[in-house]
Amino acid sequence: MKHGKKYQDSAKLLDRSKLYDPAEAVALAQQTAKCKFDETIEISVRLGVDPRHADQQVRGAVVLPHGTGKKVRVLVFAKGEKAKDAEAAGADFVGAEDLVAKIQGENWFDFDVVVATPDMMGVVGRLGRVLGPKGLMPNPKSGTVTMDVAKAIADIKAGKVEYRLDKTAIIHCPLGKKSFTAQQLEENLNALMSAIVRAKPAAAKGNYLRSVVISSTMGPGIKLNTLKF
């Protein structure tokens, strides 16, 4: 793969044979983010589990202390008083069957997170084939299927991120923006890694944290010392 000059310049700042401590890695990620826009600082965590087995799945959610720096659009499936609660809590879209029809009929996806009350899951289930592949399907494990829609919305707006294992046993998550302070990014990193470590399945054997890499949107990957977590 050919990389541009900015990427190559950034890569020269790294020692590929070194495993960096979190604070040093965060500082380097910001230093290697050379694009004019406010790049996202991202993390990829490879775990020693087999995602083909149900008892080795790793999935959950955590509220990052300083958020992600991104404005999140929340869609809520609810009726009656719960719909009113969602609107009062700042949901961007609230509805029921009308939203299902809009998504199915117009291929509408102008939202980032979907929350639903348990009684609405029968309706939301019709969207499983389109929401599932996009990672938008509400799930009790991530706190997006709940009767307390106001709290769910507040957590999401405050910087709650969902982490889940992909088919290659890797978790990808945003940690914040280049414009964050190094301390803010490090605190977000520690919060996310603590949650992933706590979520270790009982069936997981051997080395759980195989590798942890952070990078800016357009920058090179920086390998972290997993023993720090």
d(Cα 59, Cα 149) in Å, to the nearest integer? 20
CA–CA distance from 141 to each of 11, 45, 212 (Å)?
38, 19, 23
pLDDT for 45 equals 97
Position 185 confidence tier, pLDDT thresholds 50, 70, 90: very high
Instruction: Estimate the crossing angle of helix 149-158 against helix 80-88, to 10 degrees.
Output: 30
Quick: pLDDT tens for 30-79.
998 888 899 999 999 999 999 999 999 998 889 999 999 988 999 999 99
Residue whose token pair is 């190094």? 182
pLDDT for 26 equals 94
Quick: pLDDT tens for 153-181.
999 998 888 899 999 999 999 999 999 99
CA–CA distance from 191 to each of 64, 132, 166 (Å)?
6, 26, 20
Alpha-carbon dihedral sign for residues 16, 174, 186, 205: negative
Q: Given a cut of 90, is residue 6 above it in pLDDT?
A: no
State the pTM of this model: 0.79
Residue type, 114: V
Check: CB of residue 109 under 8 Å from CB of residue 134.
Answer: yes
